[in-house]
Amino acid sequence: MKPADQVEIWEAILADPLDWLPSSVTIPPPSQVEEYFSYVYGDDDMEINKFAQEPEDGQCHQQYLGEFILNKNGRCAPQGPRKRRIFPSESRGKKLHSRKNNEHWTREEVKKLIRGVRRYGEGRWTKVKRHYFSSSVRKPTHLKDKWRNIRRACGVPCRSKRKEKAQKTMFRPLDSKSVKEIRRLAKKHNVK
DNA sequence: CTAGGGGTAGTT
DNA sequence: AACTACCCCTAG
């Protein structure tokens, strides 16, 4: 890859870290990936898995990025579907239905959720669903639950009476720009 | 319909 | 133990 091409690609990433590279595009080797992530996450927050070997052709493809990311505790973010067992079972007289979907949220989905909240505000889950997840398996309730998880993971103070322990780590880390945006949106809602 | 409490099961 | 996704229930 020529240097000029690399500059172009990195500028695009830095402009919006949520926009991952197009899948067809190749990216520079781990040394530069590390440089990028230390810029985005800060040196203390993230650590690039240095043993990640460079592929034969000397370039890393997009899907390798996730594998490079380790959090502080050295825990790797879970990849792919969660492979939950299909059941129905019963517990204390309550019927538990089989899960229709159990996939981890992708960065793209989180990004769409952020955009939805930015446009409609927290709590307009059916609107967000219609405009951003119309063909998705995610239901309005899922969006609500996910936003709750996201708020917690981004350190937004909980507004409910019941005390919730502050979350320590994120298994699936977000970039700092998204975290800031989430906090901003949550704060805005609280003021109103 | 939503908020928020509670729960289950899968993961690291 | 902690995090995540999904589910259930109830009050408003």
- In this prediction, residue A127 carries a pLDDT of 97
The contacts of residue A182 (CB under 8 Å, 6+ apart) are: A114, A150, A151, A154, A156, A174
Instruction: Find the angle CA(A69)-CA(A172)-CA(A68) to the nearest 5 degrees.
Output: 10
Output the CA torsion A1→A64→A176→A35 (10° steps).
-50
Q: How far is CA A24 from CA A27, A52, A62, in A?
A: 10, 20, 8
Q: Which of A124, A126, A151, A121 is nearest to A139 (CA)?
A: A126
Q: Which nucleotide is nearest to A96 (CA to C1')?
A: C7
User: Which tokens belong to A113?
Assistant: 């959720």
Nearest protein residue to the C1' atom of B5, measured from CA: A162
Average confidence (pLDDT) per 10 residues, chain A, 192 residues: 43 42 39 49 36 34 35 42 48 55 83 94 96 93 96 82 75 82 83 50
Q: Which residues of chain A (127-156) touch nucleic strand B at CB < 7 A?
A: 127, 140-141, 144-145
Q: Residue A158: helix, strand or coil by DSSP?
A: coil
Give the pLDDT score at A180.
86
Q: CA-to-C1' distance for A2 and C8, Å?
A: 56
pLDDT of residue A160: 65
Q: Which of residues 79-108 of A have CB within 7 Å of strand C?
A: 82, 94-97, 99-105
Domains of chain A plus CATH, in order, are: 3-70 (no CATH), 95-191 (1.10.246.220)
The residue type of A176 is S
Gap between the Cα atoms of A43 and A166, Å rounded:
22
Dist CA A69 CA A169 (whole Å): 13
Give the pLDDT of residue A66: 36
Contact A96, A88 (CB under 8 A): yes
Per-residue pLDDT at A157: 77
